[in-house]
Structure formats: structure tokens, C-alpha cells
Amino acid sequence: KNQVEQSPQSLIILEGKNCTLQCNYTVSPFSNLRWYKQDTGRGPVSLTIMTFSENTKSNGRYTATLDADTKQSSLHITASQLSDSASYICVVIAQGGKLIFGQGTELSVKP
């Protein structure tokens, strides 16, 4: 069964601090892995896209890593801001284009 599991389920950090979100997957084969940011009640917005041959991808304060051998990905957020408060969803795209979602990590950044 294809699965994408994220941890932690929720996270509270202080403004300015760094954090790392984890994603483990069993989808095989897959074409690429994406991290999305989803504000409450809104659609997900893409942060990073990585193919299985890429190890790291950065987008401003967001850095995603991918280890295709262990089937793990992480999203590191540096110097967090209040606007980073959102749900972060790991999505694995199986061959054929089907999107398989993790359940998300709810991040709350406090002043």
C-alpha cells in the first residue's frame, strides 16, 4: 500500500527559531516529491519539488532534503516567521501522476 507519513503531527516554535519536519514514504516507484504549505482553509502552495535523483533543494528559508535509499525527506525552515504558521504537507507523486499526500504537520510560530 502506498503511504506517506509525516512527523511530528504538530509543532510549536518561537519566532526566529529553526525547525525540521520529517516525511517517510513507501511509494514506489515515484517520479518526484513535493512539500506544500497550506494556510488554514486554503489550497496547498508548492514550496519545493525534487526528483528521486536530487538530494537537496532550497527555496528561500525552506530547504528540503531527500534520501531515496531510506525513503525519507525533510523540510528545514530557518529563522521562522509568524507567517510560517501553517500546515506543511509532503506529497509523493507516483509514476502516472497520482498525488499521494501525507497527513501534514501543523506548525505554529509564536512571538
Partner 1 sequence: ETGVTQSPTHLIKTRGQQVTLRCSSQSGHNTVSWYQQALGQGPQFIFQYYREEENGRGNFPPRFSGLQFPNYSSELNVNALELDDSALYLCASRAPNTEAFFGQGTRLTVV
Positions that interact with partner 1 (CB under 8 A): 4, 34, 36, 41-46, 49, 89, 96-104, 106
The CA distances from residue 76 to 5, 59, 103, in Å, are 17, 10, 18
CB 38 to partner 1: min, Å:
8
Q: Which helix (H) or strand (E) holds 9?
A: none
Rounded least distance, CB 28 to partner 1, Å: 18
In 3D space, the residue among 50, 51, 78, 83 whose CA is nearest the CA of residue 64 turns out to be: 50
What CA–CA distance (Å, rounded) separates 3 from 43?
Answer: 21
Rounded CA Rg of the chain:
13
In the bound state with partner 1, the residue whose beta carbon lies nearer, of 2 and 18, is 2
Nearer to partner 1 by C-beta: 2 or 28?
A: 2
Closer CB to partner 1, 39 or 67, in the complex: 39
Distance CA 67, CA 107 (A): 23
Rounded least distance, CB 16 to partner 1, Å:
27
Least gap, CB of 102 to partner 1 (angstroms): 6
